[in-house]
Structure 1
Amino acid sequence: MNAAQPARYVVRIAVRSYEMDVNGHVNHAVYHQYAEHARMEHIRATGLTQHALAEHGLTVVLLSTTVHFRAELRHGEEIDVDSEIAFSDRKPFTMRHRIVRVADGDGAPANHLAAEAECTMGVLDTTTRRLVADPFGRLAAAATTPELLGAGPS
């Protein structure tokens, strides 16, 4: 299975007070939400809004996700969450995210890796409720900015 050069996209997020847990740092589940936000913004930037996907009888689904925690985040910090899409010759494709502290509130190191997430995704045909073959081709055909999907499988 070969994969071409992935496409990258970045969103900046401010860590909010209500995302803290009893230990005073970001709750573990929120890291998944940060990755989800970056994923959806990356897909939306290609022109693949829910409406556009529905017009093509498609939707993007999450099949699995794993987060590796590297450093805690606290209220008042800013993070960049990058999103990287990689397609192969299989139906599932991968989106990876790095959550990086870029601005802190209390002297924590900036540009510090806080977490990494890896997600297995699929493109679902909304009529058959099955994953489509050639997810890159199907998404690229529906996208207005397909270059943000990367080069596709090699």
Structure 2
Amino acid sequence: MRTSITIEVRPTEIDGMGHVNNAKYLEYMEWSREDWYNKMGLPFDTFTKMNVGTVTVNININYRKEARQGEKLTISTDTVRKGKSSYVLRHEIRNEQGELVAEADVTSVTIDLKLRKSVVVPPALTKVFS
């Protein structure tokens, strides 16, 4: 299921080149990912009750177009694939004209919070990949 949020680029997110600093795009994607989990009925507390955490292990990002202060950006999150203990979510950031600003595939692994070892993706998360 695809979800999205819209943000406005703030002055503190701009670098010396006058556009959004590259690291901020990862933050935008994290905000969208958190929103995705919540809309899937999987807020942080739900994972904690299952003794499961999610750990980002890989981010493959492509920067396509610069964004500047005051622009409104829409960040979407969607499922790509699920493995035994890992899963991939895709993010796209688009400007108000619908142009692709950045895109990334983010791989996460589910872990046992006490043992700090990977575990099978829980059924509650598996079902959103069906």
TM-score after normalising by structure 1: 0.78
* Alignment partner of 1:37 is 2:31: yes
* Alignment partner of 1:117 is 2:104: yes
* Structure showing the higher strand proportion among its residues: 2
Whether the aligned pair in 1 keeps the contact of 2:82 and 2:129 (CA below 8 Å) is no
Structure 2 portions without partners, runs of 5+? none
Q: What is aligned with 1:90?
A: 84
Q: What is aligned with 1:137?
A: 123
Bigger radius of gyration, 1 or 2? 1
Structure 1 portions without partners, runs of 5+? 1-6, 103-109, 141-145
Q: Percent of aligned pairs with the same residue? A: 27
Q: Which amino acid aligns with 1:41?
A: D
Runs of 4+ in 1 over 6 A off after TM superposition: none
Q: Which amino acid aligns with 1:37?
A: W
Q: Counterparts in 2 of 1:32-111, with a 5 A limit?
A: 32-102=26-96, 110-111=97-98
TM-score after normalising by structure 2: 0.91
Q: Which amino acid aligns with 1:43?
A: Y
- By relative contact order (CA 8 Å, sep 6+), the higher-ranking structure is 1
Q: What is aligned with 1:10?
A: 4
What is the alpha-carbon root mean square deviation over aligned residues? 1.5
Task: Give the drift of 1:118.
Answer: 1.2
In the aligned structure 1, how far is the partner of 2:43 from the partner of 2:5? Answer: 17
